[in-house]
Amino acid sequence: METFQYMGMPKVYFGQGILKTALDAEIPETVHTVMIAYGGGSIKRTGIFDSIVDYLSSRNMKYVEFSGIMPNPTYAKVQEGAKLAVDAQVDLILAVGGGSVIDCCKVIAVQAKTDKDLWQSEFVDHIYPTDHIPLAAVTTVSGTGSEMNNGAVITNESTLQKNGMLGAMADFVVLDPSYTLTVPMMQAVSGAFDTLSHCMETYFGKPAEINVSDEMNESVMRNVIRNIRAMIKDPKDVKVRSELMWDASMAENGILKIGKITDFQNHMLEHQLGAYTDCNHGQGLAVIHPTVYRHLLKDNTARFARFAKEVFGVDTEGKSEEQAASEGIDALQAFIREIGLPCTLTELKNNMRHGTGDPTDPELLRKIADSTIITKGCARQMDADEIYTILTECI
Ligand code: NZQ
Ligand code: ZN
């Protein structure tokens, strides 16, 4: 175990039909104006928006809408939301959506309390948030686990950087797995793979010895893999959605990271891929992971071998550690193929709904490699040339 400090987490209300219980308990009478923040409108089609509005009306509370938060939310969108929150004197933000909506609102909640340019404060002056408008996260698509941490991944379009900012931690969280039943299957699988990615990024960190967090992580990974398969088989099974929803929170609420050092190098790379192409986060990760791991196989062989056996059930009996490790990465690759996620940048390009840059263009890949944050690396530190090689191997 590495040394650690453990702090409380947001209060979570989990279960079908739990929204009213949560709002009754958590919204005090002193709240006058609520901002309902959401994405492209799925919450209107699914009826979640109406149920929130009806609830607020029943308590004579005013609301303002902040709509159009895009997948891969931008810093400009944060500024727009913060201005509305100030102008409308909002005293509670309800972020209703997935990682993009929740991340955007975490930074809106902070930006509305200060005139400072938060990008400058965090990345240049290293000053971090101390105050925020109360915030609640109502998750409608699971995967990122954003609801239970204070990280917010924001794209600065002027500098073409997609970076993790620190925003507000939600004051309470509503997780109703039935909300996720309407998520298109490709998005649902991509989100669940993001969860698996968070687990793997943590599991392949330090220290080398297995600790309790790693053993819990193995359980979560097995659960994610089993339930992705179950979700594809029966998209209407809300029990399966429940498992995946809590898996997502578990993977990013800090519990699995206790006593661990992580580098999240796959995420750093995917974030820049997203900054340049606007690709889907989980799908970008699906393309990258196996290739990054093949590059690191010799630097973390024992852990990859254990992953093969404990997570994918590879029969490692009588095999060398390196052979077992390699078969584990093959099993991961085969799983990605099986669940219909892209395995190459070419396939990613074919899946992109609103992409702006071509992820198969070597010149663009060079820019992505050169702008990727390179961490110290838990297994081994890479450099921009190796990142570029990885990207070209992914084409
Ligand atoms: O915009 P609407 O119309 O709501 O549609 C959304 C969106 O198109 C749709 N959707 C959401 N709930 C739905 C639904 N469709 C039907 N029924 C519902 N109930 O889903 C689409 C994707 O939503 P989005 O929020 O973009 O997806 P996700 O949750 O995967 O979030 C991705 C963002 O989170 C960041 C990613 O980088 C990316 O920007 N991440 C945040 C993390 C964090 N804060 O901890 C960690 C992650 O590693 C990740 O980087
Ligand atoms: Zn992620």
Pocket test of ligand 1: the residue of 100, 157, 268 to mutate, having most ligand atoms within 8 Å of its CB, is 100
Work out the pLDDT band at 352, boundaries 50, 70, 90: confident
Identify the CATH class of 11-180: alpha beta
Give the Å distance between the CA of 201 and the centre of ligand 2. 9
Give the Å distance between the CA of 156 and the centre of ligand 1. 17
Q: What is residue 355's predicted lDDT score, i.e. its pLDDT?
A: 57
Give the Å distance between the CA of 22 and the centre of ligand 1. 22
- Backbone phi and psi for residue 234, each to the nearest 5 degrees, phi listed first: -135, 85
Ligand 1 contact via 145 beta carbon (within 6 Å): yes
Each residue's pLDDT tens digit, 103-147: 999 999 999 999 999 999 999 999 998 999 999 999 999 999 999
Percent of the chain with pLDDT over 90: 95
Give 253's Cβ-side CA count (13 Å radius). 18
Give the Å distance between the CA of 192 and the centre of ligand 2. 10
Is pLDDT of 354 > 70? no
How far are the Cα atoms of 49, 135, 174 from residue 34, in angstroms, in the given order? 13, 10, 16
Is pLDDT of 74 > 70? yes
Q: What is residue 124's predicted lDDT score, i.e. its pLDDT?
A: 93
Pocket test of ligand 1: the residue of 146, 256, 352 to mutate, having most ligand atoms within 8 Å of its CB, is 146
Is pLDDT of 3 > 90? no
Q: What is residue 326's predicted lDDT score, i.e. its pLDDT?
A: 98
Ligand 1 contact via 71 beta carbon (within 6 Å): yes
Average pLDDT over residues 344-354: 88
Each residue's pLDDT tens digit, 258-279: 999 999 999 999 999 999 999 9
Please, where in the chain does CATH 3.40.50.1970 lie?
Answer: 11-180
Give the whole-angstrom CA distance, residue 51 versus residue 23. 11
Please, where in the chain does CATH 1.20.1090.10 lie?
Answer: 186-394
Work out the pLDDT band at 164, boundaries 50, 70, 90: very high
Ligand 1 contact via 193 beta carbon (within 6 Å): no
Topology of 186-394 in CATH? Dehydroquinate synthase-like, alpha domain (1.20.1090)
Give the whole-angstrom CA distance, residue 334 versus residue 353. 24
Is the pTM higher than 0.90?
yes
Pocket test of ligand 1: the residue of 48, 106, 153 to mutate, having most ligand atoms within 8 Å of its CB, is 153
Ligand 1 contact via 316 beta carbon (within 6 Å): no
Contact residues for 346 (Cβ-Cβ < 8 A; gap 6+):
360, 395
Is pLDDT of 94 > 60? yes
Work out the pLDDT band at 351, boundaries 50, 70, 90: confident
Q: Tell the burial category of 385 from Cβ atoms under 10 Å away from its Cβ (0-12, 13-18, 19+).
A: exposed
Q: Please report the atom of ligand 1 found closest to the CA of residue 154.
A: 39
Average pLDDT over residues 245-270: 97
- Backbone phi and psi for residue 271, each to the nearest 5 degrees, phi listed first: -60, -40
Average pLDDT of every residue of the chain: 96
Q: Which ligand is nearest to the CA of 142?
A: 1
